[in-house]
Amino acid sequence: TNYDREPPRHPSLTVNSKEPFNAEPPPCTLVASFVTPEEIFYKRNHGPIPVLEDPSEYRLEVGGLVSKPLSLSLEKIRMLPKHTVVATLQCAGNRRTQMSETKHVKGVGWGVAALGNGIWSGVCLYDILELAGITQGTTATLNGGKHVEFVSVDVCKEENGGPYKASVPLLQATTPSADILLAYEMNGKELNRDHGYPLRVVVPGVIGARSVKWLRGIYVTADECQGFFMQRDYKMFPPSIDWHNVDWSSRRPLMDFPVQCAICTPKEGAVHALGSMVTIQGYALSGGGRGIERVDVSIDGGKTWLEAKRYQKQRGDLYSSDTDNDCEKWAWVLWEITVQIYPPVDIIAKAVDSSANTQPEKVKSIWNLRGVLNNSWHCVQVQAEN
């Protein structure tokens, strides 16, 4: 595999793995804007970034159990109705490094910034499927198609040199409110190579692993995708299971992510004077289109809690009511609270989603061999100035 045609990257990124390139921004830059700029948006790859020599030669193949197979050029795709979705992509491995502190887990280490909120524009997956002869809201086609598989062109060692792939159930793919997009723009600009140029899938509310980049083919299939990342990775096992007794076929692939929250500023080990006013900021999100109902912050290690103010647009337009119905359902909320602190203190944040789901207090109770979905309470220690 050849890494000499990688795109340029922003110097502020923390590189967790160089080849393949895996990197995340400093957490404080995440809370600087509701929409994450592309340069600092986390990058999660399993191989070199593909090179598309001639965009006019590109074709998206739509096949499998469809009545009208298609081969679509970029030009044709751009002529179809354009939709925009604001959605946060989050890697299932976000906060994995912390999970490893209790007991080692296998996988690329990530801090709290393996996520980003983007404005994605492109065509709706159900519009493409409709062109291929599948009607909206279909659970199965007459010839037995029940899943929609997305296939890329990148070279992954886990796939023995084959491309990255994933699938979603046909019903989700054909349901307009699921908002699955084939995006060719990110934040109002042409999608860049790191994030999937010329076309990527965006499956809102679902772990990032299913949002296949550098999309080349969409296939309606009878079975769920049998690729490595669906069957032998991105599954969650109980704490009692480790590499010696794991049976990958006993669990389903992860899809929706759970309620999650992290403190982005102050950072771990920050120093503050006794009695100083500190603004604590972070993000919170949940999967499956569930919004955030509440963010609780403690400045005494979890004895008492205060509710933070949440916002989705400008920092200036803080809202804390549950009556805000103009929120983006697939996007994170940013939150903040200004408090007087007497260090040393443990600052903790936890969120509650719109279905009243809460986060586990300790990482130990959700430890799993692949280190996925660490959504335990996030804690930052602040030291006293001496």
Residue 58 CB, shortest distance to ligand MTE, in Å, is 15
> Which uninterrupted H or E stretch holds 264?
strand 260-265
d(CA 181, CA 123): 6
- Please state the φ and ψ torsions of residue 315, each to the nearest 5 degrees: -55, -35
Instruction: Write the DSSP string, 275-335.
Output: TEEEEEEEEEE-STT--EEEEEEESSTTSS-EEPEEESS-TTS-B--S---SS-TTS-EEE
d(CA 335, CA 214): 33
Tell me the window of 35-43, 127-135, 363-371, 376-384 that interacts with ligand MTE (CB under 6 A): 35-43
Give the count of residues interacting with ligand MTE (CB under 6 A). Answer: 18
d(CA 175, CA 156): 31
- Closer to ligand MTE by Cβ: residue 46 or 146: 46
* Of 209, 212, 280, 292, the one binding Mo ion by CB under 5 A: 209
- Closer to ligand MTE by Cβ: residue 94 or 221: 94
Residue 126 sits in the site that holds ligand MTE (CB under 6 A)? no
For residue 176, whether the previous peptide bond is cis, meaning omega lies within 30 degrees of 0, is no
* Of 212, 218, 236, 292, the one binding ligand MTE by CB under 6 A: 212
Residue 227 sits in the site that holds ligand MTE (CB under 6 A)? no
Max distance between CA atoms of the chain, in angstroms, equals 73
Tell me the window of 10-18, 39-47, 295-303, 325-333 that interacts with ligand MTE (CB under 6 A): 39-47
- Closer to Mo ion by Cβ: residue 46 or 272: 46
Residue 214 sits in the site that holds ligand MTE (CB under 6 A)? yes
Tell me the window of 70-78, 128-136, 204-212, 296-304 that interacts with ligand MTE (CB under 6 A): 204-212
Q: What is the DSSP code (8-state) at residue 141? A: -
- Closer to Mo ion by Cβ: residue 43 or 44: 44
Residue 228 sits in the site that holds ligand MTE (CB under 6 A)? no
Residue 42 sits in the site that holds ligand MTE (CB under 6 A)? yes
Check: CB of residue 168 under 8 Å from CB of residue 147: yes
d(CA 112, CA 135): 40
| Interface contacts to Mo ion, rule CB under 5 A | 44, 91, 208-209
| Interface contacts to ligand MTE, rule CB under 6 A | 41-46, 89, 91, 152, 154, 164, 195, 208-209, 211-214
